[in-house]
Amino acid sequence: MTPSRSRYLLAGAAYAIIGSSVMALTAFSPGLAAPERRADLMHLLVALPFFLLFAAAIVWGHRAVAALVRLFGAAAERAERIGFHVREKLVMVLAVTSLGRIFVFISNGLGYRPRWLDGSLRLAETEPAGRMLLAAALMALLVAALVWAAWVPFLARRR
């Protein structure tokens, strides 16, 4: 197994396992959400197949993209290169968006609820939710795996 392949395999596994764990922690923690918001949190479970789909795209997405590019007449080598680059950019975007989730989880853990109102970010005080700090730590591990898979090789090529 090549280093690149093992990096993406680890990132995909981390995305599936840690992402699903954080979602379950958020949805099923007693006292974390007000009872009237419990239905909203259950909608998170609808996102579970998408977490798994993105995890599969992290590991094997380059093959699907390369097959599509070959259908449009590109040579096999060029199609494979495009597939790898698309997968790399997908993982980079997932890493950046996960940083936003870490901010929200830390805020919730410290007793603030971030809201986007009238074009600005506002922090409303709420009850601190210590389990969200655990969710933030898990998300930090996930971001580390995504950064290691895509950002580190990308920046190394730019030197």
Q: How confident is the model at residue 33 (pLDDT cuts 50, 70, 90)?
A: low
Cα gap 159→140, rounded to integer Å: 26
pLDDT digits (tens, 9 = 90+) for 115-158: 877 888 788 888 887 888 999 999 999 999 999 999 888 888 88
Strand partners, 116: 121
- Residue 58 burial by CB count (10 A; 0-12/13-18/19+): exposed, middle or buried? buried
Q: What is the pTM of this model?
A: 0.82
| Interval 34-58 mean pLDDT | 75
| Interval 5-18 mean pLDDT | 90
